[in-house]
Structure 1
């Protein structure tokens, strides 16, 4: 079991049992107590647990834990997507990023870029990039959603409409086999749409598990995107829709993929 998978399992236990013991976890996962302590340190750093004598207990709210679930699930795939997108963004570019665990991996992969102008409604992106050598980092104003650090609402939409960027990088909660890009929250979707209409190149970052999620609010169609970067083979109907829309699909699992 990888460290990421083990941390996810510890998080699941914290949700179910409130507290856990280091020695018990070491036996459960057949690793050393030192390995478990390192895993716990990661969860503590993310605000999801507090250390106790001999273990840890849950600290985060249920909604925050749910977002951390999304961060940890398919983490390696999201990291690979982030690296591919970062290779597509030259130094000195301007980029808009919305909320999402995969867009945060794009931000992480961009942390060594220079002279970027980054515009976002994602508080986590600000934390990731604030110490990097970027030219400017701008964050929208508006209502903050505590569960994930998204800034949403009319003020955030107006903020995005006052800017123009070379690249938009957005995530989503759901993909439909016919090519629809979907999410749950209309306020979040309104910001994503504003990001798309104010960018010259539009990139969707998404892992293929989103085909298993059913959301109802449409962000856009494939025809409104230039590139989709994903982690593996997609349904044939989706690929056909992308071809008809002249939208490029890049799969990180394909060893022959090349940057746009």
Structure 2
């Protein structure tokens, strides 16, 4: 019965996380599509939820980090929104693929053009970014969210490591370890002398299969005990019934 109690407890805990963590994510955030590796390129989504019950979001402005200028910032078209990339001169030119880049994107602005983010809804705005810095673990993007009632919410507070989350936190993009291809496509290949051949998926499958077998075995034992008890009860009932008929 401990198996079932543990499963029930896990379900309750997971539900609690979903219920109580909803409010913590009700702000503009940024997440990579796949992996954002240091020194590579990545596609990210800026997720914009509507926090108001009586207004709709009609504009989003995202500032690019000045301490880590990006040579390539390309937005993906979003139906019902027009996008503008603002560029600025760099104090120090960037060297990209043998060419010097003297200006880089400083801000990206999405403005409603036949669409909007209504109450109870959210919208994602994709960007292709690169090259990502090699000497940083994260990038902070300050954002302004404008509603159709002229209210502007400034998501510009930088989170402090080990501190409480700010009231209006800026979107933070976490960077993973650098990859060989500099495109953030995946992890490095396994070394030639690695006897496992890099087949981590097979090991995970074996582990999962073993865990499944243990769980199935526990369930079978419980059912077996129940069957024995039911069978013994049936035999006892038959014996009693026979005695009654004999008397």
TM-score category by the smaller chain? under 0.3
Higher helix content, 1 or 2 = 1
Q: Which has the higher contact order (CA 8 A, sep 6+)?
A: 2
TM-score normalised by length of structure 1: 0.22
Larger Rg: 2
Higher strand content, 1 or 2 = 2
TM-score normalised by length of structure 2: 0.23
